[in-house]
Amino acid sequence: MPKATKPKATSLKAVPPFASEAQEREFWEKEALDSTAYFDTSKTVAVALKNLKPSTTSISLRLTDSLLEGIRREANKLDVPYQSLMKVWLTEKLGEKSAR
């Protein structure tokens, strides 16, 4: 009868300390990084996150018919949903204001 062998001890790398979330994101997003060197993937557990709430907020915005039609026309030319185009434009405008 063959002897039972012990599983090989894996030497996991220690996750380095990070000064900021941006520094941590930069570390984990490196193309050459193998995250399995830092975590024992044999112990992973599936998780269901049932109560997550969307990070967006719905608003009501009254626009003139002509303004909305112009936005829809531009969105149609770009082949994007008009609401997505509005979000891009608002984000760009806010970025311009923040850069001043």
pLDDT of residue 99: 79
Residue 15 to residue 17: CA distance in whole angstroms: 7
The number of folded domains in the chain is 2
Same domain, 69 and 35: no
Q: pLDDT band at residue 55, thresholds of 50, 70 and 90? A: confident
Instruction: Answer whether 38's CB lies under 8 Å from 30's CB.
Output: no
Same domain, 100 and 67: yes
**6 domain-assigned:** no
**34 domain-assigned:** yes
pLDDT of residue 87: 94
Which residue segment(s) compose the domain that 25 sits in?
A: 12-42
Structure tokens at 62: 């009254």
Candidates 57, 90, 58, 96; CA nearest to 71 is 90
| pLDDT above 50: residue 7 | no
**pTM exceeds cut of 0.85:** no
DSSP assignment of the chain equals -PPPPPPPPP-PPPPPP-SSHHHHHHHHT-TT--GGGTS-GGG------TT---S---------HHHHHHHHHHHHHHTS-HHHHHHHHHHHHHHHHHH-
Same domain, 65 and 97: yes
Structure tokens at 100: 């001043």
Same domain, 27 and 63: no
| pLDDT above 70: residue 3 | no
How large is the C-alpha radius of gyration of the chain? 25
